[in-house]
Structure 1
Amino acid sequence: MARTKPQEIIRRAQVPQRLAERPVLAVQADQASSAGAGVLSRTAAAVLTRVSDSVNSQMISNSREQYSAAATQRMQEDAEGTPRQAEDFVAQQSESWRRGYLKADGIIRVRDWQIEAAKEIAKAEPGTDIEPLIKERMAALTQNPEFQDPQVRKALMPVAMRAAQQVRQQWQADSMREMLVRQKESLTAIIRDGIKGGTFLTSEGMNGLYAMLDQEEYAYLNKRDVDELYVEAAKEELAAGNRDPQSILAFLEQDRGDGQPGLMNTEHGDELRAAAAAGARVIAHREDEARKQAMAEAEWTLQGLADRGQLTHKTIDTWASKFGLSGGDLQSFKRYWNNQQEQTLRRWEQEAKERAREERIRKLVAGGNPYEISDADLKKQAGKEWEETPQAARGQVLQKWARQGIVIPQLERILKRADPAFQENFQNAATLYEQLRKVSPKYADTVAGGEAAAMLDQYLYDTRRSGQSHQEAARVLTQPKREVEEARSVINDTWKSGIKDYLEIDGKPRDPRELHRIRQEAERIASRGGVSGEAAIRAAVGQIDAQRTTVNGRRVPNIGMPQGAEPAVDELIQTVARKLGRDPDELSALPNPRNPGQWQIVGPDNWLIPDPDTGRAIGFDPRAIAAQHQRWKGDLAESQARRRVEQRTTWADQSRNIRDLRSQSATTEVPAAIAKRDASAAEAPAFELPKFDLTKPLVPNAGTKQTTTTPAVPEDFLEYLTRK
């Protein structure tokens, strides 16, 4: 429908409250002119408004996106540590992008400024005026490019002001906190020294401590702070164990000067008790360590006293009291050192017995009567003397023990361990064996034993007589063992020539049974590879001879027979033969098969000879018989010597009595009546004949058998053995 009246439009400018690049024109109809306008006019106006708003919104949205993208890019660069964009690049971007980038960059710069300013100000002493420093740094901050754009500067200045204010607030808080810490540290040091010195363990000291709060240097502290500092210092002192914890706790139980309860009766009581318990443990540990140290330092002194036998019970108690021991520690201490003393006394006793035993052995050996000592003790003594004797004087020791037939252990080990694989040791053993044979072939065989003797004999023969080197001789000696038949064949081939020099012993033919034993021993020795038949026979003869002896003219085993005891056994057999009315040459003795240490007297057919009184075999111990025989000879010789001395003394007494009688007769006065002529005669008493006691002989013991005071020693050995 056509309009019948034109509309009048009034145009006016309207600026909205938002960012816009151009003003937005609003269309408004004159109400007076358009009072009759219809719906179509109002609709057109609304459409135009919506179109304008849409265009403006699109433009604003694009601007915000650029702004946000630029800010995000700068934040990302900061997070990743990449450099910011160059100034030329930033200037070429749109205004929205540039402002977003500069604002984000400015915020980052303000953040860094705040951090650096806080670090710089933190170096200042509390109470310092920091405003000049903040203003100086703020002026430098605003000179950066970010603050040159008015819009960006307007947005950044509030941020910078807030950062500066935060720096001031942080500084004030840190300054206050530092002042408080310094005051607490200063007062803590004073409290700690006061507690250690005992000043603050008195009521007067505590009152003085609280009075220090009135001083300016402790203005930030209050009484509660002092209590907390005191408790901490007291806990340190208690836990350190420098003072008696109970005395400190007793003081803290007391009420304070202002009527307040003691610190033990406050919330600090439990921690103070815990510190006191820790201190008590420290003190106990310290005392224990000091005790152990003192005991360790005194150990050598105590051990010296124990070694000298001077650690008596009283001395032990004194030292235990000095160390403050009690309970189980005291018992252990006393028990240990008492045992040390007892060990010393037992050692002395044992050493005294050992010295007495050694002295007895020396005397018996020197006196020719070692038979009272066992072979084991003699061997032990021989080894000890060999060890203690210098090298140059060991020849005498060797001669001494070789005469007794006692093996020196050191020499036995050298010979029996000799191995041809070790040249130097084996050559030394061969030289030693050679020297022993010069002293006594029998002793050398006894020390070395059968196999070692055969091997050393073979080695000496090959090297000394045949001129072989050690390697050649050792190669022969280390050959594999021979079989029984081979060893028997070796002995068969050399038996006649090898045994001919040993068919007699002590001028008498050897018993066939002994020759058979020699052959068996030679075959056993020859089973060792490299040993010749001659060497095996020589070693077998030496081995058998070392195992046999001659008793009353008969060759018998020497088991249990000490070397040199044969004469005593012969004497015993002869005295037994006389008692039994037998021919002494018919009897001999053999070891008891059940007890080789005991021997029994046998007849010509080796049957036992019974005792006519008991019907049992006549047995004896060769060692004891030899010892008794030596003692009998000594006692008999001493008895005879004493009797001769007593006889000489008796004849001397008789001669002296006769001389006294003669002297008595010569001094009898001659009467004046028969004085010599021309001699003046004195008035003489009546003459009396000399008076003699005719009931006693003029010569003492005249006509009677002389007696001696020396006990008689039987001249018969058997009678000496059986006397009571």
Structure 2
Amino acid sequence: MARTKPQEIIRRAQVPQRLAERPVLAVQADQASSAGAGVLSRTAAAVLTRVSDSVNSQMISNSREQYSAAATQRMQEDAEGTPRQAEDFVARQSESWRRGYLKADGIIRVRDWQIEAAKEIAKAEPGTDIEPLIKERMAALTQNPEFQDPQVRKALMPVAMRAAQQVRQQWQADSMREMLVRQKESLTAIIRDGIKGGTFLTSEGMNGLYAMLDQEEYAYLNKRDVDELYVEAAKEELAAGNRDPQSILAFLEQDRGDGQPGLMNTEHGDELRAAAAAGARVIAHREDEARKQAMAEAEWTLQGLADRGQLTHKTIDTWASKFGLSGGDLQSFKRYWNNQQEQTLRRWEQEAKERAREERIRKLVAGGNPYEISDADLKKQAGKEWEETPQAARGQVLQKWARQGIVIPQLERILKRADPAFQENFQNAATLYEQLRKVSPKYADTVAGGEAAAMLDQYLYDTRRSGQSHQEAARVLTQPKREVEEARSVINDTWKSGIKDYLEIDGKPRDPRELHRIRQEAERIASRGGVSGEAAIRAAVGQIDAQRTTVNGRRVPNIGMPQGAEPAVDELIQTVARKLGRDPDELSALPNPRNPGQWQIVGPDNWLIPDPDTGRAIGFDPRAIAAQHQRWKGDLAESQARRRVEQRTTWADQSRNIRDLRSQSATTEVPAAIAKRDASAAEAPAFELPKFDLTKPLVPNAGTKQTTTTPAVPEDFLEYLTRK
């Protein structure tokens, strides 16, 4: 099996000692010439020899420096990741430089070759013959340019051989480790299954385990390895709590078949004991959880027995034995369920007393003599009946307890907790209070209490009678008491003189409800401080008037009234008054407090005017009425214009007919005797009266009603709205 972990190979870069051919400078003196030169010739020869040695030394030094510089350059290029120099560039350099560069480059190639070869071989399965692969890759390595120079090749081949040998050694070590790991893994799986199944918890099983070492597939393992693998598997089994830890430890205490002491008596004893302790805790926890689960599942059964009064001491002991309880747990179990049984008996007794008390209260209340019962008991009974009664039948319960003057706790909580800051809840409380007042004003005050009743009364007056919005009414109700009293004192001092100048449109005093709103607004303005009574009243009147509009001569709230819709509403009110046979000046309109977008026609006291046909309030949408009124005026004007045109056409036809008749009568001859006085005339023909066709009228349409082709548009606005 191939190993996935890459094998690491130490990179080494070796640069051998710089070598260069020692150039020989052939400088020789002519012996024939020097023979006669004497001492001078020998001196010159010595000088030339020294010069030749110096030149040779210099050339060797230069060659070594070039060799070293080239090798250093290639190493630096490799470190920096720079590509190697081109072959033509290397060929143009000196021989020493070229060899130094090629040798360094060859060493780098050998290093890379070793790394790649190790990676490739690591993929092979253990035991595979890797020599063909090494030879193949070595042959490819020697084809590189660095190995073509004989001297460089001679220097690089030992390096390549060492790299190949290192690859072999690494492969052998990795292969052996892999084989060892595989054999341990295989044997560990066998041991783990044998311990779980109990096979290796017997002497025969252990002997069979040791005998497996004679097999070829476990050739790398020895008995010590088997002991270590067995201990690890035994620790896992002990810690898991799958078997009784004590039975496993007892087996491991026994001597083995070959006379060796048991594994508990070796260096592994402490590890095995720790694993056994962990397993014992796991088993104890598991048993405890199972017992708790069983007790939880049985609790419904036990509680049912307790609720029915059937949980006897014998039954409790039976269940305790089933759960295996003892000691403190047993005492707690018995105490708990005995208490549950006693509570059931006490509850039954209390319920019996409660039923008797309720029955007595019902009889006394039904007989009209509840005075023997305390108000607290009556109130408790009222709350219980209210809770148990369906919503549709609670009106009867309310009537029953209202007659007795007993407060229903649920209604009391709703009214006393009402807060104007929360509009929906407060409006619901106000509606409830209003309904209670219809049953009995005194009972409503009793249920709500003094302060809450006063606040709700004020709110209902402001919203139902004065037409204020919730925000306006709530603003006054939520002002601090001290500020309200101070502002009220400021307004009281100037109220009579300050309000007399603000009259209705017709010069009469304003409606008391509107005056009440003005006074409340003035008090609110005065509560801010720094404002006189007259200024507060003037500002309040301005704010109230800004929220008002004039409908049929009366100032009313302008909620939902679009600008310019007043004439249309006035026309509607007048036509409704004519239909009802009432004085139009008595009627007006107010916004519906439950739906400000809808208005309703009211009488002089602001009470709703019902429709005689349906008995319902006469409601309308001001926006729709304004649009219909505009359309009605246009339709009516167009109809009247068309009728006038048609009438002019009819009279023109009549005039033309009369002229025709006159022209016919003018052509009739007058007798001569009549034509001239005292004239004698010949005998004239007898006079004949003009003949007219009496089957046709002299004047067209005379004596008949004029008809037009224009559709008739009602001149009554209400009739226009209700026409089909």
Distance 1:575 1:59 in 2: 135
What 5-or-longer segments of structure 1 have no aligned partner? none
Distance 2:497 2:14 in 1: 159
Contact 1:454 1:536 in 2 (8 A): no
The equivalences for 1:541-556 within 5 A come to none
Distance 2:628 2:7 in 1: 176
Structure 1 residues 574, 354: CA separation in 2 closer, same or farther (over 3 Å shift)?
farther
**CA drift at 1:448:** 3.5
Contact 1:14 1:26 in 2 (8 A): no
Structure 1 residues 666, 519: CA separation in 2 closer, same or farther (over 3 Å shift)?
same
Structure 1 residues 657, 169: CA separation in 2 closer, same or farther (over 3 Å shift)?
same
**CA drift at 1:144:** 1.0
The equivalences for 1:311-350 within 5 A come to 311-350=311-350
| Corresponding residue SS for 2:13 | strand
**CA drift at 1:424:** 5.7
**CA drift at 1:266:** 2.0
**CA drift at 1:241:** 1.9
| Corresponding residue SS for 2:26 | strand
Moved more, 379-388 or 567-576: 567-576
| Corresponding residue SS for 1:24 | coil
Structure 1 residues 672, 531: CA separation in 2 closer, same or farther (over 3 Å shift)?
closer
Structure 1 residues 63, 112: CA separation in 2 closer, same or farther (over 3 Å shift)?
same
Distance 1:246 1:699 in 2: 139
Moved more, 191-200 or 518-527: 518-527
State the Cα deviation string for residues 277-319 of structure 1 (Å, max 9, x = none). Answer: 2222232233333334434444444444444444444444444
State the Cα deviation string for residues 4-56 of structure 1 (Å, max 9, x = none). Answer: 99999999999999966566589999999999999999999987766544433
Match of 1:566 in 2: 566
Contact 2:12 2:111 in 1 (8 A): no
Distance 2:591 2:545 in 1: 16
| Corresponding residue SS for 2:10 | strand
Structure 1 residues 522, 409: CA separation in 2 closer, same or farther (over 3 Å shift)?
farther
Structure 1 residues 517, 330: CA separation in 2 closer, same or farther (over 3 Å shift)?
farther
Distance 2:213 2:396 in 1: 100
Contact 1:370 1:627 in 2 (8 A): no
Structure 1 residues 59, 415: CA separation in 2 closer, same or farther (over 3 Å shift)?
same
Moved more, 534-543 or 667-676: 667-676
Match of 1:498 in 2: 498
Structure 1 residues 307, 584: CA separation in 2 closer, same or farther (over 3 Å shift)?
farther
Moved more, 159-168 or 579-588: 579-588
Moved more, 202-211 or 472-481: 472-481
Match of 1:20 in 2: 20
Contact 1:378 1:406 in 2 (8 A): yes
Distance 1:3 1:537 in 2: 99
State the Cα deviation string for residues 133-179 of structure 1 (Å, max 9, x = none). Answer: 11111111111111111111111111111111111222222222222
Moved more, 315-324 or 252-261: 315-324
Moved more, 48-57 or 510-519: 510-519
Distance 1:418 1:600 in 2: 29
Distance 2:96 2:338 in 1: 103
Distance 1:439 1:85 in 2: 113
| Corresponding residue SS for 1:573 | helix
Distance 2:545 2:14 in 1: 154
Structure 1 residues 507, 3: CA separation in 2 closer, same or farther (over 3 Å shift)?
closer
Structure 1 residues 699, 135: CA separation in 2 closer, same or farther (over 3 Å shift)?
closer
Distance 2:531 2:468 in 1: 15
Moved more, 258-267 or 340-349: 340-349
The equivalences for 1:380-391 within 5 A come to 380-391=380-391
Distance 1:505 1:210 in 2: 121
**CA drift at 1:267:** 2.2
**CA drift at 1:182:** 1.9
Structure 1 residues 169, 392: CA separation in 2 closer, same or farther (over 3 Å shift)?
closer
Equivalent pairs, count: 724
Contact 1:557 1:590 in 2 (8 A): yes
Contact 2:29 2:45 in 1 (8 A): no
Structure 1 residues 136, 213: CA separation in 2 closer, same or farther (over 3 Å shift)?
same
Contact 1:608 1:617 in 2 (8 A): yes
Moved more, 276-285 or 375-384: 276-285
RMSD: 34.9
Structure 1 residues 87, 195: CA separation in 2 closer, same or farther (over 3 Å shift)?
same
**CA drift at 1:83:** 1.6
Structure 1 residues 134, 512: CA separation in 2 closer, same or farther (over 3 Å shift)?
closer
**CA drift at 1:257:** 1.3
Structure 1 residues 143, 334: CA separation in 2 closer, same or farther (over 3 Å shift)?
farther
Structure 1 residues 131, 367: CA separation in 2 closer, same or farther (over 3 Å shift)?
same
Structure 1 residues 362, 500: CA separation in 2 closer, same or farther (over 3 Å shift)?
farther
**CA drift at 1:471:** 7.1
Distance 1:667 1:97 in 2: 154
Moved more, 644-653 or 488-497: 644-653
State the Cα deviation string for residues 409-453 of structure 1 (Å, max 9, x = none). Answer: 233334444556666655555554454445444434433344444
Moved more, 540-549 or 139-148: 540-549
Contact 2:518 2:541 in 1 (8 A): yes
| Corresponding residue SS for 1:600 | strand
Taking structure 1 as the reference length, what is the TM-score of the superposition?
0.58
**CA drift at 1:679:** 167
Does structure 1 residue 69 correspond to structure 2 residue 58? no
Distance 1:51 1:710 in 2: 145
State the Cα deviation string for residues 174-220 of structure 1 (Å, max 9, x = none). Answer: 22222222222222221221111111111111111222222222222
Distance 1:521 1:43 in 2: 140
| Corresponding residue SS for 1:502 | coil
**CA drift at 1:227:** 2.0
Contact 1:418 1:429 in 2 (8 A): yes
| Corresponding residue SS for 1:688 | coil
Match of 2:203 in 1: 203
Moved more, 622-631 or 390-399: 622-631
**CA drift at 1:708:** 106
Moved more, 393-402 or 501-510: 501-510
Moved more, 348-357 or 708-717: 708-717
State the Cα deviation string for residues 618-674 of structure 1 (Å, max 9, x = none). Answer: 999999999999999999999999999999999999999999999999999999999
| Corresponding residue SS for 1:598 | strand
Contact 2:559 2:597 in 1 (8 A): yes
| Corresponding residue SS for 1:510 | coil
Moved more, 165-174 or 599-608: 599-608
Distance 1:166 1:15 in 2: 19
Distance 1:32 1:9 in 2: 67
Identity %: 100
Moved more, 522-531 or 333-342: 522-531
Contact 2:253 2:263 in 1 (8 A): yes
| Corresponding residue SS for 1:613 | coil
Structure 1 residues 290, 716: CA separation in 2 closer, same or farther (over 3 Å shift)?
farther
Structure 1 residues 172, 526: CA separation in 2 closer, same or farther (over 3 Å shift)?
closer
State the Cα deviation string for residues 471-512 of structure 1 (Å, max 9, x = none). Answer: 777677677758999999999999999999999999999999
**CA drift at 1:115:** 1.4
Structure 1 residues 449, 62: CA separation in 2 closer, same or farther (over 3 Å shift)?
same
Distance 1:5 1:320 in 2: 60
Moved more, 331-340 or 518-527: 518-527
Contact 1:420 1:474 in 2 (8 A): yes
Distance 2:83 2:407 in 1: 102
**CA drift at 1:322:** 3.3
Contact 1:14 1:24 in 2 (8 A): no
Contact 1:455 1:531 in 2 (8 A): no
Structure of higher RCO (CA pairs closer than 8 Å, 6+ residues apart): 1
Moved more, 218-227 or 544-553: 544-553
Contact 2:467 2:593 in 1 (8 A): no
Match of 2:286 in 1: 286
Contact 2:573 2:588 in 1 (8 A): yes
Moved more, 571-580 or 433-442: 571-580
Contact 2:23 2:60 in 1 (8 A): no
Match of 2:181 in 1: 181
Contact 2:14 2:107 in 1 (8 A): no
State the Cα deviation string for residues 594-617 of structure 1 (Å, max 9, x = none). Answer: 999999999999999999999999
Moved more, 709-718 or 237-246: 709-718
Contact 2:34 2:42 in 1 (8 A): no
Moved more, 709-718 or 405-414: 709-718
Moved more, 370-379 or 323-332: 323-332
| Corresponding residue SS for 1:17 | coil
Moved more, 331-340 or 688-697: 688-697
Structure 1 residues 215, 446: CA separation in 2 closer, same or farther (over 3 Å shift)?
closer
Distance 1:174 1:418 in 2: 86
Structure 1 residues 49, 395: CA separation in 2 closer, same or farther (over 3 Å shift)?
same
Contact 2:306 2:340 in 1 (8 A): yes
